[in-house]
Chains A and B, each alone.
Chain A
Amino acid sequence: MISVNLLAIFYLISGVLFILALRGLSSPETSRQGNFFGIIGMSLAIVVTILSVGNFSSGFIYLLIFLVIGGSIGAFIAFKIPMTAMPELVAGFHSLVGLAAVFVAISAFLNPEIFKLGTPGNIKIASIIEMSLGAAIGAITFTGSIIAFLKLRGIMSGSPITFYGQHYLNLFLGLILIGLIYYLCKSQVDTWFWLIIGISLFVGVLLIIPIGGADMPVVISMLNSYSGWAAAGIGFTLENTALIITGALVGSSGAILSYIMCKGMNRSFFNVILGGWGATEQKSSTSDKEQKPVKNGNADDAAFLMKNASSVIIVPGYGMAVAQAQHALREMVDTLKKNGVKVSYAIHPVAGRMPGHMNVLLAEANVPYDEVFELDEINNDFANCDVAYVIGANDVTNPVAKSDPQSPIYGMPVLDVEKSKSVLFVKRSLSPGYAGIDNDLFYRDNTLMLFADAKKMTEEIVKSL
Chain B
Amino acid sequence: MEIDPFIFRLSIFILAIFIGYYVVWSVTPSLHTPLMSVTNAISSVIIVGAIIAALAGSSEDLFNIANIFGYLAILLAAINIFGGFLVTQRMLAMYKKKKDKK
Contact = CB atoms under 8 A, between A and B. Distances in A.
Interface of A: 11, 14-15, 18-19, 21-23, 25-28, 31-32, 34-35, 38-39, 41-42, 45-46, 49-50, 53, 55, 57-60, 62-63, 66-75, 77-79, 81, 83, 86, 89-90, 93-94, 96-97, 99-101, 103-104, 106-108, 110-111, 113-115, 126, 220-221, 224, 227-228, 231-232, 234-254, 256-257, 260, 347, 349, 354-357, 359-360, 363-364, 366, 368-372, 374
A240 B77 contact: no
Contacts of A251: 17, 20
Given A104-B49, A248-B16, A248-B20, A42 B56 contact: no
Interface residues of B, number: 84
B62 A101 contact: no
Contact of A360 (B23, B33, B48): B33
Nearest to A373: B30
Q: Which 5 A-B pairs have the closest CB atoms?
A: A70-B78, A356-B32, A74-B83, A74-B82, A111-B66
Q: Which of B23, B59, B76 has the most CB of A within 10 A?
A: B76
A97 B80 contact: yes
A25 B51 CA distance: 29
Contact of A100 (B19, B64, B76): B76
B85 A253 contact: no
Contact of A31 (B56, B84, B95): B95
B30 A359 contact: yes
Interface string B25-44: 11111111111111111111
Contacts of B101: 366, 368
A372 B40 CA distance: 25
Contacts of A113: 57
A23 B21 CA distance: 11
